[in-house]
Chain A
Amino acid sequence: MKLGILINEGPYQHQASDTALQYVKAAIEKGHEIYRVFFYNDGVNNATRLATPPQDDRNITKEWSALAKNHGIDLVVCVAAAQRRGILDKGEAERNGKDSDNIEEGFRISGLGQLVEAGIQSDRLITFGD
């Protein structure tokens, strides 16, 4: 089955992105297709590669990135939510005159249309938030 995932919270305020990650891993294990993971609102904070948690802490950004790499999952970050929170890819950094970008490998920045499309194309859309 095709599953779409919406994540509305970052990794250090609520459990939402952890629950989503475990859910996605279990779904892949069961042979389901993750059509897209859409990061919205504070969920975009999952996408910064500059976050440096202690080594004995879980690194959720790296875990998402590894899933994208190993299973070809489309990780999409909402552009408007990302700009407010300083999450930038190379193109956005240049366009906004910033000195660097910080998006983790495997994530891409795009618009809310990608969420709508995930809702249409997926058999189920599951929301994880506060």
Chain B
Amino acid sequence: MNMLHTVNKSPFENSSVTSCISMCAKDNSILFIEDAVISVMKATKFTEMIESSLKDFNMYALKPDLEARGLSLDNVIEGVKIVGYEEFVDLTTEHDSVQSWL
């Protein structure tokens, strides 16, 4: 099943991001929103995990949430797609179902 996972918590705060990545089926998509957008920054202790997961999942980060937190788009890990709310809507309709990791 082609599922979209949304995660909204920073990996420094709880285990939602790591749980999502470990439970997520191959070729599923993960959208990082709200505080979770910090997951896709370069040079953090989670960078390697995200980079190595990119071969298995499509990864997206919500641009307005990156910007609201002062996170530079230049520092986003290569391969992670930066999207707006419009693409957020497209992702939810293009996938068969949506799982919110709360």
What residues make up the interface of A, taking CB atoms closer than 8 Å to B? 1, 3, 8, 14-16, 19, 22-23, 25-27, 29-30, 32, 123-130
Contact = CB atoms under 8 A, between A and B. Distances in A.
A27 B102 contact: no
Contacts, number: 51
B17 to A, nearest CB: 15
Contacts of A32: 89, 93
B96 to A, nearest CB: 9
B91 to A, nearest CB: 10
Given A15-B8, A15-B34, A16-B8, A23 B89 contact: yes
Given A15-B34, A16-B8, A130-B102, A124 B85 contact: no
B88 A123 contact: no
A27 B89 contact: yes
Contacts of A30: 86, 89-90
Contact of B102 (A8, A22, A26): A8
A95 B75 CA distance: 56
A91 B88 CA distance: 38
A16 B8 CA distance: 9
Interface residues of B, number: 19
Dominant secondary structure at the A interface: mixed
B2 interface: no
B93 A124 contact: yes
Contacts of B11: none
B61 to A, nearest CB: 13
Contact of B98 (A26, A29, A126, A130): A126
B18 interface: no
A30 B84 CA distance: 13
Contacts of B100: 126-129
Which of B85, B89, B102 has the largest count of A CB atoms less than 10 A from its CB?
Answer: B89
Interface in B30-68: 33-35, 64-65
Contacts of A125: 98
A26 B35 CA distance: 20
B98 A129 contact: no
Nearest to A22: B85
